[in-house]
Structure 1
Amino acid sequence: MATNQDVKNQLANRVSQSAQQPASPEQTIAAYLKKMGPEIERALPSHMNADRMARIALTTIRTNPMLLQCSIPSLLGAVMQAAQLGLEPGLIGHCYLVPFRNNKENRMDVQFIIGYKGMIDLARRSGNIESIYSHCVYEADEFDYELGLHPKLHHKPATGRRGELKYVYAVAHFKDGGYQFEVMDKEEIERRRKRSKAANNGPWVTDYEEMAKKTVIRHMWKYLPISIEIQQQAGHDEVVRKDVISEPVSVYSEAIDISGVSAETIPFDDQSATGEEQKEPEQPSGDGTIFDHVK
C-alpha cells in the first residue's frame, strides 16, 4: 500500500517530467498573452477585456495553424493592434491575422488587416456619419453613376445569375445631410490587392468581396468627416509590427512562466465565441500609441 510520501514523490516526479517537456507553440503564445494582459487591458475599449481578447486570439490561431509558425513578435503585435483598435479578429470580420512569408528575413510573419466591418466601425466612431455601406456590382445589374456638379449613383441588382464582378462602390451619409460616394472598377481593385503582402492568402482568398468593399471605403476615407485620431488608427491597416515584445525568450526563463497556462486556462467570456454581432465598439482609450514592449 502506497504511503503519503510515495504519493508525494510520484507527484513530484510528474511535475518534474512535465517541466522538462518542450512547450507547444500554443502554450508559448498563451503564456505571452497572459503576461501581456495588463498592456492589452489598457489598450482595449471599456466594453472589452484582456481575457476575452486573449481567448479570441487563441481561437483564431487554432483555426489557422500557420500562425503558430510565425514570429512571436509579429503575431503578438497583430493582437495588440486589434486590441488597440477595439476590433475582434476572425469572428465577425472586424480584422484578420494573416501569415505570410517574409523572404527578406527568411521567416513567417503576421500581417494585421482591417476587415470591411472593422472599417465601418471605425468610421461610425466619429459621430458625424449617419450610415456607411458598400455594395458589389455585377455585369447583369443595372448600374450607372455620374460625377461633376450634380453627382448621382443608381444601382438595381439583377435577380438570379448576376455574372462577374464589375464594380464596387461605397456610400457615406453624414448627419448634416451631406453624402460622399466612391466607385472602383474590378481592375483597380485588383491593382490594389496585388500590392498587399497577403494578396494570395487570407481574406483576399476567403472573403474577396468583403475585402473589395473595404478597399473602396479605405479609398473614400480621406473625404469623410472623421477625426485625425481615427484617420491614424485606419493607418494601422495592412502593416506588420514586431516591437510589441523583444526577441522571444525561452518560455522556461523567469520572463514567462507557462505553468498551468494553456488555451483552456485563460478565463473566457463564453459570449465571445458565439460569433454574434457585438455592440458597436467605443473609442479606444489612451493616446493612440502602441505599447513598445511587455514589461
Structure 2
Amino acid sequence: MSTQLQTQQAGGQVVMKPSQIMQSMLARPNVQKQFEQALGAKAGGFITSILSLYSSDAQLAQCDPGQVIACCLKAAQLDLPIDKQLGFAYVIPFNNRKTGRKDPQFIMGYKGYIQLAMRSGQYLTINTDVVYKGELTKKDKLSGMVTLDGQKESDEVIGYFGYFKLLNGFEKLFYVSVEEMAEYALRYSPSISRNTKPEALIALAGKGATGGGVGWFGDFDSMAKKTCLRQLLSKYGILSVEMQSAIINDVDEAPAGGMATREQIISSENVTDIPFDEPETHVEAVKEASGTNLPPEAQKPAQSEIRDESGVECEF
C-alpha cells in the first residue's frame, strides 16, 4: 500500500498525507482490538505514541503504514515503549534493495532485553557496558575467563561485555572486542553497505548516539551492548516466552539474503563460565527454567496479522 492514499470525492481526488493514513488505520476497530488485547488499558497511549513516531520521522513515513503498525504491535505484545529516547525498542526504516522502497523493522534495544529479563524474576543482576582501555587486565584464551578490574586509562573503547547473575548463583560473562563487534555488524546487519570498512565502525565506538540516530551508525555503542546481551541470554539465560519472542523478532542482524540462523547469531567462543557452588544443581535449574521442555506452542509466539483494504498482509 502506498503512503499516498487517494480517495474519490465529488469534483476530483484528495490525496491524504502519510500521517492521515496512519491515523485512519489506527482508528479501525480491528487494529485497536489487537492493541487492547496486548496492552489492556494502556492501548490508547501506545496508539498515540505510534502516530507521534510516524509523524515525526520523515524516513519512517515513507514506509507502508500497515507494516509499521505490525512492527509496533510486536513491541506492544512485549509491553515495551517505542519512544526512541527511552531505548527499549525501535521501529526503523531500512532500504529494500530489491523493491527500491523503505521497509520498517522492529528492533530491540539493550534496555528492552534487561527489562524482559528482570520481569522474569530469575535474575539477581544483569548488565552490559563498554570496556575502556586499561580495564581489561586478563583474558585466558583456554578457559575464556576475562577480568575487568583494571583502572580506566583513557576514553578509548576496546570492547563490550554482557553479564548476568541468577538468583540461584549461576553467572555468565560475555566479552567482545570492538574489532570483533565491527566485523560482526558488517557480516549480519542489512543496514550496512558491504563496501563499509571495519575502521569506519570502530571509529564510532565511544561516541554514543549521534544526531539522535539509532542503529550501528546512529548509536554503535548501544547496538554493541545489545548484541552482547542478546548473545549471552540466547545461549545461557533463562528465557521467558516474552524473551524468546523478542529474540525471534529482533531481526536487525540478518545477513544479506535472509535472517541469521540461531547458530550464526549465538557464539559461545567468548562466553565465560564463572565458578559457583553446586554446578550440577544450578545447570539443571537453568535448563528447566529456560524453556527447554516447553511445548512447541509456548516456544513460538502467536501470530497476528493486519490487513489493509488494498490487501496488504503483515504477519509475524
Do these two structures clear the TM 0.5 threshold for a shared fold by scoring above it? Answer: yes
Matched, 1:203 2:215: yes
* Structure 1 unpaired stretches of 5+: 1-15, 241-286
Contact map agreement 2:94 2:103 (CA 8 A) in 1: yes
What amino acid is aligned across from residue 216 of structure 1 in structure 2? C
SS in 2 for 1:226: coil
The 3-state SS of whatever aligns with 1:121 is helix
Note the residue ranges of structure 2 that are not aligned, 5 or more in a row.
1-8, 194-212, 254-299, 309-316
Alpha-carbon deviations, 1:152-205, whole Å to 9, x = none? 53234526x422x21101110110122111111112211232221234773322
User: What corresponds to 1:33 in structure 2?
Assistant: 26
Q: 2:130 maps to which residue?
A: 136
- State which of 239, 250, 257 in structure 2 corresponds to 1:237: 250
How far, CA to CA, are the matches of 1:148 and 1:174 in structure 2? Answer: 25
Q: Which residue of 2 aligns with 1:166?
A: 158
For 1:100, the aligned partner's letter is F
Q: Please list, as runs of the form range in 1=range in 2, the aligned pairs for 1:1-295 lying within 5 A after superposition.
A: 21-35=14-28, 36-44=31-39, 49-89=42-82, 90-146=84-140, 151=145, 153-158=147-152, 161-163=154-156, 165-194=157-186, 195-199=188-192, 202-221=214-233, 222-228=235-241, 230-238=243-251, 288-294=301-307
**Counterpart amino acid of residue 149 in structure 2:** H
Change (3 A) 1:143 1:54: farther
Which structure has more relative contact order (CA 8 Å, sep 6+)? It is: 1
Cα contact 1:141–1:162 (8 A) shared by 2:
no
**TM-score normalised by L of structure 1:** 0.69
Q: In 1, distance between residues paired with 2:144 and 2:61?
A: 52
Aligned AA (1:30): Q
Secondary structure, aligned partner of 2:148:
strand
Identity fraction in percent: 26
CA distance in 2, matches of 1:110, 1:145: 40
Aligned amino acid, residue 162 of structure 2: A
Q: How many residues align?
A: 230
Contact 1:100 1:108 in 2 (8 A): yes
Rate the CA distance shift 1:150–1:234 in 2: closer, same or farther, 3 A.
Answer: closer
Residues 71 and 107, structure 1, Cα contact 8 Å, conserved in 2: no
Q: Contact between 2:160 and 2:176, CA under 8 Å: does it hold in 1?
A: yes
Within 1, Cα distance between the matches of 2:152 and 2:146?
A: 20
